[in-house]
């Protein structure tokens, strides 16, 4: 299983960098787009790169590629290349990645609940958002 982990994380483990297991988890999650990538792959199933780009129009091609690459190196996401023309590539959650889904879903629920509380405190209705 250690072969499916970024070298930088392996090095930190070997050097005793992580004082707490939560730090390892945060290292896997760190990256602006990783949580939402994991949520879409885990809840909706496999996605092609172009589908992910459409889901996140503000993310650059380079950043999406890097985030997916790190998730693959950590054994969280699998990249499947289909032998057809034009090439078809899909990204999906691995078995290990699926073990993170309950955490991601809890983060989503917490964020949704907190957002609703903030809107109520600010007296903002759904109609006022995105105007």
Q: How far apart are CA 48 and CA 3, in angstroms?
A: 25
Q: How far apart are CA 92 and CA 89, in angstroms?
A: 10
pLDDT at position 106 is: 93
pLDDT at position 10 is: 76
Domains and CATH numbers, the chain: 7-125 (1.10.10.10)
pLDDT at position 3 is: 62
pLDDT at position 16 is: 76
The strand pairing partners of 4, in sequence order, are: none
pLDDT at position 119 is: 86
Q: How far apart are CA 18 and CA 90, in angstroms?
A: 33
Instruction: Please say whether the beta carbons of 89 and 80 come within 8 A.
Output: yes
In the chain, the DSSP E strands lie at 47-48, 77-82, 88-93
Residue stretches of the chain with pLDDT short of 70:
1-4, 126-127, 129-131
What pTM, to 2 d.p., does this model score? 0.80
pLDDT at position 77 is: 97
């Amino acid at each position: 299983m250690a072969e499916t982990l970024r070298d930088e994380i392996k090095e930190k483990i070997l050097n005793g960098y992580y004082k707490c297991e939560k730090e390892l988890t945060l290292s896997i999650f760190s990256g602006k787009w990783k949580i939402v990538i994991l949520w879409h792959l885990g809840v909706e199933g496999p996605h092609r790169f172009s589908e992910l780009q459409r889901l996140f129009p503000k993310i650059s091609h380079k950043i999406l590629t890097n985030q997916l690459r790190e998730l693959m190196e950590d054994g969280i996401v699998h990249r499947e290349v289909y032998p057809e023309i034009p090439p078809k590539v899909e990204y999906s959650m691995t078995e290990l990645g699926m073990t993170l889904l309950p955490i991601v879903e809890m983060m989503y629920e917490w964020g949704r609940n907190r957002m609703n509380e903030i809107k109520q405190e600010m007296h903002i209705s759904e109609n006022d958002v995105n105007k």
